[in-house]
Amino acid sequence: MRKTSLFPIPSMFMSLPKMKPRESAAFIASVSKDVKLNQVCIKRVATEIVKAIVSQEFEPNNMMIHSYPLPVIEDASSIEWVFVADALNFSFWALEENAHYSVELRGKQYTGYMALCAAITKAQEAGIPITSAKYYANVTKETVNEIFMSSTREPIPLLEQRWIILQECGKIINEKFDGEFYNCVRQSENSAQKLLDLIVSNFPSFRDEGIFEGERVSFYKRAQILVADIWSVFKGKGLGSFSDIDTITMFADYRVPQTLVHFGAMEYSEKLYKLLSTNHTFFNGDQEEMEIRGCSIHAVELIKEELKSQSMDFNKETLPINSAMIDYFLWEYRRRFATDLAKVPYHKVRCIYY
């Protein structure tokens, strides 16, 4: 087992060729010992997605749900907002299901990642320029604590790491992108992969990588979700017009695997299931943790191929059949049926990558 750190790859492995997330996932799934995929249930998930779309229970064209405290304005300010949210989009799990980090905004209580979003919006409404790189490059730890103060007794996890990342990202944006992440997005020239490369190469905290069976693999959960969020906010147009958005994989976290296990698309060995049931905390880079994340990505790739091969009851030309859409369905499903899915244990890791 290897302890978590801000930079997961030991220097001795940096010369190894690096696999992209899709390649990494296929490799991990091919040699995984404690996590297996079930093709029959992969098809079941695809069928569930089709049913949800046809019944309008799930709307892929409206992936940013407007009742959430997320930006809906298609302009440059939304890009700065999304960058801050995704720079800090990690580690919201709690040992007890009813003891999550929570923030109240406009009389409504939000938990987990949505609580973070609510805190950002709340800060903006209070006149704090939290989405300005010039501001957060020098923000104090005390101010970060105040901005992300919980409405309950459960504080936001890893506060110091969030403060360090905010300052680091702010300094990089000021030095390399003239104070706005918008300029980084413009440099991508409407390529999801180019933007992903720009993010990973310029911002160390987004380098979600590891060594698995002697190979250098990548997951890039936060970097990919940042690309997908920009695509989603702009509805695939303008600054979010990425012709290669289909090259982005799902966002390997701890909640989507829970949904995949619920559907039977992913199966754990008896040994791993028992370990998860004890609330065991893994380190980022542990074999089991990487198997879960890698197999999750590969499962979603298989679901995507199944969706594309099925005869659909909706127009595939007008709906985004890609990994980001499938991830969003699975993530939203977990939120909507949280009580039912609570019986499925999920892996727990305290790290900055997810």
Domain presence at residue 294: yes
For 291, what's the count of Cα atoms within 13 Å in the CB-facing half-sphere?
Answer: 19
pLDDT digits (tens, 9 = 90+) for 318-345: 667 899 999 999 998 998 898 899 999 9
Distance CA 10, CA 97 (A): 35
Distance CA 233, CA 220 (A): 20
Domain presence at residue 109: yes
pLDDT digits (tens, 9 = 90+) for 206-255: 999 999 999 999 999 999 999 999 998 888 899 999 999 999 999 999 99
Domain presence at residue 2: no
Stated pTM of the model: 0.90
Contact (CB, 8 A) for 154 and 99? yes
Counting the structural domains of the chain, the total is 1
Domain presence at residue 257: yes
Active site residue 246: no
Domain presence at residue 4: no
> Tokens for 56?
């309008």
Distance CA 180, CA 187 (A): 12
Q: What is the pLDDT of residue 55?
A: 87
Task: Using DSSP, state whether 210 is helix, strand or coil.
Answer: strand
Domain around 181:
11-349
Domain presence at residue 139: yes
For 243, what's the count of Cα atoms within 13 Å in the CB-facing half-sphere?
Answer: 4
Annotated active-site residue in 86, 208, 229, 253: 253
Whole-Å CA distances, 222 to 177, 206, 211, 341: 19, 6, 18, 24
DSSP for 219-268, written as a single string: --HHHHHHHHHHHHHTTTSGGG--TTGGG------SSHHHHHHHHTSEEE
pLDDT digits (tens, 9 = 90+) for 170-194: 999 999 999 999 999 999 999 999 9
Q: Quick one: which of 72, 118, 53 has its CA closest to 92?
A: 118
Domain presence at residue 278: yes
